[in-house]
Structure 1
């Protein structure tokens, strides 16, 4: 059967935003990449997101067949993600008003991303008589079980909201088998509704290449040991673990200091916004500010260069539903060192090493082991490239389209 048009909802973050800072991250990449590929298959995709600036056009063409529609809900600026539950009614009303002029059956399905969008999706899908597909991306109960010391737990409002969305969605898209189990065990999801569809990697942008060439473009020393962190600067992503590990390593082996660079790419996000310079202060307090380079988020092509330049990419997250950064790094030829949590083992596969827990000493030893073994890094690089090659966004989109068709067919039989 044909799926002609899909409404995607991304209330709290726009697909037009730069990933790596604020609320923009893997969710944004997921929405953009799947929407583009659905459109290439002949499915029109309209993405509804909250307007955060008065100058934003009502509609923006993201790619052929992909339209971003800006929705007025609350003041344009100054609203935190935590403030948005109070604006969900306004968002839903505006979405329905925008679509009111369209004929019945304009959309075949609604796909909501993150729980805030799920709440809106619940209303509009019911109004339009179409199925609701939902992707959690992260879950409050999982995050709260892995909080960093001093981090703020997710509120009960979010937990209840997630439980409601899980109950009403026609299909729940889980990134991994682990996430599927969490949906069933922690949220009482109906197993029949859960579909495991792994996110992918853009294999045209994230490609391997000579580290020396990439370093030349980035103005980095050719012979330095480059350890890289990429992601939003917040406790959940645990960049502080990497800095503490580096401090531990240099205390044990001070000779490394003259040849070590730690790159931190990203901007403040989440609870990290409360202290946007805290990581820089930590580097100074640890006495390693001279080896740490803080770099704001870069373009996707620029990010691929950083991955190619790196000797290893560290992903010390406390919780991770999948780990797009890890997969993008592998596709670019960089070995990955990641925490053994959530979806990271599956994302890393044979292209890296896993560390249990967040003890800086353990991370320091793992970093040293990889930096001191170029043959192992080469082996991991080759294995990682092959692993990533099997995880293109095309496969993700194929599986997503199949889930859409199944949901639409089931809905039509029920109605």
Structure 2
């Protein structure tokens, strides 16, 4: 179950769809429940997709969450799951409103929760007593990072096993590398202040003002800061905004990039895009924040968050490497393969089923 609409780009949604593909590949019958964005989006998964409720966007953790607040939709989703009769119900962000709440309260199968959020915020702090009362509905819990595990414990009182995120590593080398005419820096993510895109623009423009070998900055994604960021990017073509792109086009741009920059200032529980770039054999520069450090290991250049001069220096260092060997970073990325992650979740599913059966 995803509390967030699958048609909107986000880390939780990516995990839900990728897990559904891997589970389906293993012969497991999978149903995915999510809010309804009322569009004609098709999803790259053989799993059955069921969508419920009117989609709204609300502020959450420095971003905006595409979810539903419809109680009726939550009840319809619960009925559909009851008809599906699963052995395990897997709740991603189990306490995020609202599509999964009726199922969480009345489920007739083992319940596994995965916590993604890093940092509480005032809304979560206020809801903490309610969340703690609901925690017993989950048979076993996982978290995508140490930071997410700490948040789950402080806000909900639950103990989690840290499994991190996973991704399908082989999908990122399906396309040939495309050499670009000038050094190309790619930033991928939602256009909102905490993602640090302005820092990347400032770094690239500062370099281009002082050097004869210009950089091109390609920004993939959309969001509320687009207008101001486009204005800051200028009109000389050095900064290009592609908006939201398909998964295939995203993977192509990983292979076109000379360096992938992840400039978020905070609020990242796990840096999956760093690992995707490594799997694409692309060098990575990332802000020095906890979620990114977990993903980077020793295989990315880190810079001071929000500091454009520090970012410019890190990009210069990355581009100056004549013979960068992608092998160690690629091996590092494969540690987070979706196949390995699903193996770990199968162990949790079995434990949850045993606990659920013992409590009935």
Normalised by the shorter chain, which TM-score bucket? 0.7 to 0.9
Q: Distance in 2 between matches of 1:325 and 1:131?
A: 31
- Answering whether residue 269 of structure 2 is matched by residue 321 of structure 1, we say yes
- Answering whether residue 13 of structure 2 is matched by residue 28 of structure 1, we say yes
- Answering whether residue 157 of structure 2 is matched by residue 189 of structure 1, we say yes
Gapped runs of 5+ residues in structure 2?
60-64
- Answering whether residue 50 of structure 2 is matched by residue 69 of structure 1, we say yes
Gapped runs of 5+ residues in structure 1?
1-8, 18-22, 145-152
- Answering whether residue 239 of structure 2 is matched by residue 262 of structure 1, we say no
How far is the alpha carbon of 1:242 from its aligned partner? Answer: 0.9
Q: Distance in 1 between matches of 2:356 and 2:119?
A: 29
Question: Secondary structure in 2 aligned to 1:350?
Answer: coil
Question: Secondary structure in 2 aligned to 1:49?
Answer: strand
Q: Distance in 2 between matches of 1:96 and 1:237?
A: 35
**Alignment RMSD:** 3.0
Corresponding residue pairs, total: 354
Task: Map 1:197-346; keep pairs closer than 5 Å.
Answer: 197-207=163-173, 211=177, 214-215=178-179, 220-221=180-181, 224-251=182-209, 253-257=210-214, 260-268=215-223, 272=224, 275-284=225-234, 289-317=236-264, 318-346=266-294
Is the alpha carbon distance of 1:158 and 1:278 closer, same or farther for their aligned partners in structure 2, counting shifts above 3 Å?
Answer: farther
Q: Which residue of 2 aligns with 1:147?
A: none
CA contact (8 A) 1:200 1:396 kept: yes
Q: Distance in 2 between matches of 1:176 and 1:281?
A: 35
CA contact (8 A) 1:312 1:335 kept: yes
The one of 311, 328, 346 equivalent to 1:401 is 346
Q: Which residue of 1 aligns with 2:79?
A: 97
**TM value normalised by structure 1:** 0.76
**TM value normalised by structure 2:** 0.86
Q: Which residue of 2 aligns with 1:5?
A: none
How far is the alpha carbon of 1:11 from its aligned partner? Answer: 3.2
